[in-house]
Every structure is written in structure tokens, then in C-alpha cells.
Amino acid sequence: MKKRLLCFLLSLMFLALISDQQTLAAEERVGGKDRFEVAVNLSKKGWPNGSKTVILTNYLAFADALSAAPFAYQLDSPILLTQPAKLTASTKTEILRLKPQKIILVGGKGSLNDGLIKELKAVGIPVVERIGGKDRFEVSKNIAGKMPPSEGAVIAYGMNFPDALAVAPYAARSGYPILLTGKDSLPPVISETIKQRNIQHSIIVGGEGSVGKTVADALPNVQRIGGKDRFEVANNIFKILNPGSKKVYISNGLTFADALTGSVLAAKENASMLLTWPTRVPDIIQNTLIDKMITETLVLGGTGSVGNGIIYLPGQWEMKNWAGYGLQGYSSKTSVLPNESITFYINSLQNYHIEFYRMGYYENKGAELKGTLTGRKAHIQHKPIKQDTLDANWDPSVTYSIPSGWESGVYLAKIVNQEKKASFIPFVVRDINPKADFMVLIATNTYQAYNNWGGKSLYGYNSTNKEAAVKLSFNRPYKNYWGAGEFFTYEYNLIRWLEKKGYNLTYITDTDLHEGILSSSDIKTLIIAGHDEYWSKQMRDHVEDSQDVNLAMFNANIGYWQVRLENENRTLVGYKYRAAEDPFNKTDPVQVTTRFRDDPVNRPEELLFGTMYRGIPEKTMPLVVTNSKHWIYEGTSLKDGDKIVGIVGGEVDRSDLTSGIEHIARSPVTLYGKPSVADVIWYNKPDGRKVFSVGTFYWNYFLDPYGHQDKGRYDKNIEIMTINALERLK
């Protein structure tokens, strides 16, 4: 009952703590009360120290300004908006702040009249020039005439605006003019400009419904970037012309002032311009943001133009909104090699996508986004659970080939539905022939032992009718911690710290250890990062037989229960307190699933580890220094009797061996009403190997307390002791 309460409280506390630490979306907005103010705020962002030139254009007559972005980029000039005859107050204030030497009006007198010139000169602008023309086509020709020669040009439909604005950042960075055309005929002034500039390459933006075949036939060396609508055109411009861009500007696809004034800044930041509906991001745009792993966007305009929260960005691994049973899944393997495939079995009531994160420190971000899968359709799994093992019996949803560049580590597949609710599927990427100082073992057997998805675990407290199962399938989601199993409870904190410190690591799961991976590995020390309570005979055998591999145990109650792995290692078998019912009593007693220390197994844990599990303390206790002259304390100021509050708790180990054991700390605890001790030990094994064991659940929380600040805090002395131990083990 006490262990049940402990697990429940750990779950609640971690949920609360990690929810408090949610990172905000990497979404920035440049807004304003109107389009004039948006343009001003973009100017402030892009030109904080002023600008020698400012381009002014009519706030309604966008046609003249469609071609302005490449020219403005060339001059490193912001684009501001104005009324035809008078500056708005915000625009005038910004011009005065910028202190330009020149203002360029883009548009004829019908758009920007002479009264505006008088006002500009009255506020001290010495030079005011105009680039005009009898129509929008001639304006685009005249702007091109101000630009340096280029081998290419962008051709856009002149009677509508989204395609020209979407391509503007690319055209600006490439030095290409944007030339406007009709749908079915190329205006003579544009044809003349193409010849005069000796254009060798024409990029048409828009499908044949915007720029027809007749126009295309009149252009040199045409590349068309089209799409079924303006959103797809903008999306294809990004994917084809600027695929390496890591930042995206997002603007309203129905009104164009914000995209116009934002285009120059987008070019300066090598960002692409994507378009959206005001209240919903088109699927093609949303999928591209995920596929391209865009984690940084700039939204143009106020919330009336682009609503709050409508854009989903990948790169945020933390669980903000758990989907529960409506979205969950499991993988075909606990671990996988690069270039090898892994299959995911997912139940989802809605369409979803998958993000893949490698967990670690990553400058305190906690994980790195490694890949994505989009466009996954709702998949409701209907098959009945196999009651003998709780096998979910689901159909495969997606098979994914692990990229060759993915390094060994713990990965979380984050499945996210259309409501932005999510669940995790954990797996490990391992090395084919692991070679490292430290091999980190992930306790997947223990994950499954505690997992009561489908109604059963190896524990009565969370099983239906309080009757524990004896067989559990790995073919089912983890119910704990949003699908991540026990990873966040016991292992993640140590992994964050190890990777922060730059140790040479490789990762495996219990299944890999069971299958004999140590025989093909070149490692110095096996690190047991978490509460790895459930071991198979083969796991124990392989560790005992690897007499050149040291052990570091950063938790308690390790290798306590013997279990079996059956059905190609996809079924965990553990009779535990019902060991007398285990059929292996008659056929192979050494594999009976009981405690390792009990008959008929008779392999006490301390013979391998130097220490073993003793119980659950009545309350958390301080670590008490008892051997301060031990080398592990070098660099600390600790002395005998000193206490580090909060270290000893959860479950604890003690060593009763007399040979080879160096007690680093012996901390008084009360176990089931009786006084006892919890030990931190260094064990010099008879075969020459070394073992370091902390004997408590909470040690890792004092290296990196992420998610467990209720129990731990960073402690310099614990870190020094850990570093000293690992230095002797590598």
C-alpha cells in the first residue's frame, strides 16, 4: 500500500512541476493597432539605429509597391505606409526617428500626391524622389531600372497580390526584380525590360490561372512555382526556392499590407513568407512548419489579422496538453539501430503528426528535435486486447526508418493531434557495436512491470480486482507519465546531467542487455540510471560474465525480481509472490520468477552489486557522511557527521558484506518501524571490477532537479562525489 501511495504521489508531483516549466512557443509577433503601426514596428525591429533611406507607399494601393521589396532590400530601407496626401502620426514619428537622408515614394501622383512631398520637406527630409509610372506594370519596370543587373527575374500576376508578396523575400536576397504581368499577355514595357536586362532565367509565381501559358511562352528559361491556391504557392516558394530557411514570417493571406512591409525584414533574416487564414492555418502550411522543423516564426499583424495560438510549432518536447486514451501508442522495439526501421502502433481519434526528440540537456532545453512525420490520418484501433498478456493487438500505423545520423540516446516520439493534445512513445537508439566510457541502461522491464494499461500490471494495487498479472506484453502503450513510462521519474535527471557534463555515453535497454549486447561492446562502466527492479536471468548472467565492465548504480532496488522475456522478448513474465505457480519450478528452476535472493534462484543481489534493497523509509532522511577521508569526498568540505538533507528516500539499499565494501555514507532510516541504515558504497569486487551505488531514489535529483524540485535541489557536493566516482570508473 505504501509503495502504491509513493508511486501515485510521484506522478502527481511530477505532473505539477513539469507543467510549471512549460516553454513558450518560439513565436514572435510584430503587431499594431493598424497597418501603419505594424509597418512602424517592423521598421523599429529591423532598423533600430535608423536608415539612410525610407520607402513610402500608399496604404491601400499595393500594386505600385508589389515590386518594391527587392529595391528596398538593396538600399537596406524599411517600407512605411502613408495616406495619399498626409502622413499618419505614427509614420511621421518613425521617419523622424530613422533620420533618413532620402525618402523614395513608390507610386504615381494618384497614389502619393505632391502635398505629401511638401509635408516631408517641412519635417526636414532633404531629398524626396518618386518612382512612378502610368500603371503598375510600368512602376515595376521603373523599379527594376533602379536595381543592378541580374540574370534572373520574378514574374508575378499584377492584378492580385499574394504570390508577389510571398516571393518578395527570395527575390530581394537574390537581387531579382519583381516584374508584373497580365494573365494572358506580357505587357510591352515588361517584355522590353526583360530584353534590356538580358534576363536569362524567369521565375513565374502562380499557376496558369494567374499567369497563363501565353505569358510563359514569351519568357526565357521559365521555372514556374504554382499551387492550387495562394497558400500552396507560398508554401512551394519556401520549399523550392529557400528550403534551408529556418525562420518563417507568417502573414494574413487575405490582406496584404503586413506582408508588404514585412518582406524586407524577412529578406534580411533569410526568412520565408507564408500565408494563413486569420483564424486557421491551412493544413499545407501547418505541415510544412512541422516537416521543416521550423521552431522560430514572426507573425505579422495584430490578432485580428492572425489569431493567437493558431500556429503550431514543433520543437517543444514538454507535455502541455496530454491527449489520454484518444491518442496513444507503442513501438515495435524497445531499441533500434540507425538505418533500421521501427513501427509505431497508434490509436488516434483525429489526424496527427509525430515529432522525434532526443532527450538530454541541450543548453537546458532538455531535448533536441530530430525529425518529424506529418499527414497521419486518424486511426481508431478496434481489435480486442489479448487478455492473457494485455497485448493491445493493434494494427501498425507507421513504419519509420531511423536516420543514419541519429546518435545513441533516449528518444521520445511525441504524437500530436489536431487539437494540439499529445502523448509520448519512448524508445532508445543504440549503437551497433557500442564503444564508450559509459553505457546507460534504460529500465524498460520495470516500465512495463508498473504499467497497468488495459487494467493490469505486476502489482495488485493498480490492477483490476487487485489481482496482479503474471504476463505483460510490451505491445501496449505506457500509461504512466503521458506514455513515457518511468523515464521521467528515475532516469531523465541523471541523463540531463551526464550529457551536460559531456561524458562519452552509449544507451541500451533491458532487452538489449538480455540479448547479450555486452559481448559486442567496448565500454568501461554500465550505468544503471533508474529504478531497474526487474531483471532476467540472462541480464544478470551477462553482467556477471562481463568481468571487465564496472557498475554504477544511481538508484535503489535494482535487480530485485527475476523475470523472463518470452515471445521474442515482447512478453514480460513475473509470478513474483505467486512463484510457486510458475511452471518453471518443474522445468528450469533457475529461471523461476521470484526474488533473486530466494529459493530456488538463490542469487542475492549483493553478490553482484555489493548492496541490495532493504525497504521504504518512513520519511525522507539526510545523507550522513561517515567516511569523509574517502577519496570520493576530495574537493568537498564535508566531514564525518555532516548531513545533506533530502537525499535518502523513496526506497533504499544497504550492504552487509564485510569484504571489499567501502562505506561512503551510512544514513539512519526507519524501515517498517525498525531502525536501519541506507548505504552509499564503493565495492571492490573480488574479480577486480568496481561498483558505485548510491542506494536511494533521490540522488539524481541533486545533480539536476528538473521536474522534482519538491524533492531535490542542485548540490555541489553531490556533484563532486559523482564526478569523482565516474572518474575512477572510466
User: What pLDDT, in 10s, does the model give residues 457-491?
Assistant: 999 999 999 999 999 999 999 999 999 999 999 99
> Residue 101 is placed in which grid cell?
537622408
Question: What distance in Å separates the CA atoms of residue 274 and residue 270, rounded to the nearest whole number?
Answer: 13
Q: What is the pLDDT of residues 224-247, one digit of tens each?
A: 999 999 999 999 999 999 998 989
26 — pLDDT class (breaks 50, 70, 90): low
60 — pLDDT class (breaks 50, 70, 90): confident
Cα-based angle 501, 506, 508 (whole degrees, multiple of 5): 130
Q: What is the predicted pLDDT for the residue at 384? A: 95
With cell 539612410, the residue in question is 52
Q: Is the dihedral of CA 217, 222, 227, 229 positive or negative?
A: negative
Cα-based angle 167, 170, 171 (whole degrees, multiple of 5): 80
With cell 494567374, the residue in question is 210
> Residue 321 is placed in which grid cell?
496538453
Q: What is the predicted pLDDT for the residue at 161? A: 86
Please name the residue ranges forming H helices in 183-342.
188-196, 213-217, 230-241, 257-268, 283-291
DSSP secondary structure letter of residue 391: B
Closest CA to 111 of 134, 141, 88, 140: 134
Q: Which element (helix H / strand E) includes 653?
A: strand 652-654
Segment 547-552 shows an average pLDDT of: 96
> Residue 649 is placed in which grid cell?
528516500
Question: What distance in Å separates the CA atoms of residue 175 and residue 180, rounded to the nearest whole number?
Answer: 16
Cα-based angle 342, 448, 492 (whole degrees, multiple of 5): 75
Q: How many CA atoms lie within 13 A of 505 on its CB side?
A: 27
Question: What distance in Å separates the CA atoms of residue 296 and residue 293, rounded to the nearest whole number?
Answer: 9
Question: What distance in Å separates the CA atoms of residue 166 and residue 233, rounded to the nearest whole number?
Answer: 8
Q: What is the predicted pLDDT for the residue at 632? A: 98
Q: What is the predicted pLDDT for the residue at 24? A: 38
Given a contact cutoff of 8 angstroms between Cβ atoms, the answer to whether 376 and 326 are in contact is no
Cα-based angle 452, 456, 462 (whole degrees, multiple of 5): 65
Burial of 717 (0-12, 13-18, 19+ CB in 10 A): middle
> Is 130's pLDDT higher than 90?
yes
DSSP secondary structure letter of residue 134: S
Side chain identity at residue 427, one-letter code: F
CA distances from 338 to 241, 317, 342, 368 (A): 30, 21, 10, 17
Tell me the whole-structure pTM to 2 decimals.
0.92
Q: How many CA atoms lie within 13 A of 397 on its CB side?
A: 28
Question: What distance in Å separates the CA atoms of residue 131 and residue 108, rounded to the nearest whole number?
Answer: 7
Q: Is the peptide bond before 600 cis (omega within 30 degrees of 0)?
A: yes
Q: Which element (helix H / strand E) includes 562?
A: strand 561-566
Q: What is the pLDDT of residues 132-148, one digit of tens each?
A: 999 999 999 999 999 99
14 — pLDDT class (breaks 50, 70, 90): low
Given a contact cutoff of 8 angstroms between Cβ atoms, the answer to whether 395 and 381 are in contact is yes
> Is 22's pLDDT higher than 80?
no
Complete edge-to-edge strand list for the sheet that includes strand 296-300: 27-30, 296-300, 247-252, 272-276
Minimum mean pLDDT among 15-19, 396-400, 540-544, 726-730: which range? 15-19
Burial of 216 (0-12, 13-18, 19+ CB in 10 A): middle
Please name the residue ranges forming H helices in 428-536.
444-450, 492-501, 510-514
Long-range contacts of 367-373 (CB under 8 A, 24+ apart): 367/317, 367/412, 369/293, 369/295, 369/314, 369/315, 369/317, 370/403, 370/406, 370/411, 371/293, 371/403, 371/406, 372/290, 372/291, 372/293, 372/314, 373/398, 373/400
DSSP secondary structure letter of residue 396: P
> Is 65's pLDDT higher than 90?
no
Q: What is the mean pLDDT of the chain?
A: 94
Side chain identity at residue 12, one-letter code: L
Which phi and psi angles does 223 have, rounded to 5°? -120, 120
> Is 2's pLDDT higher than 70?
no
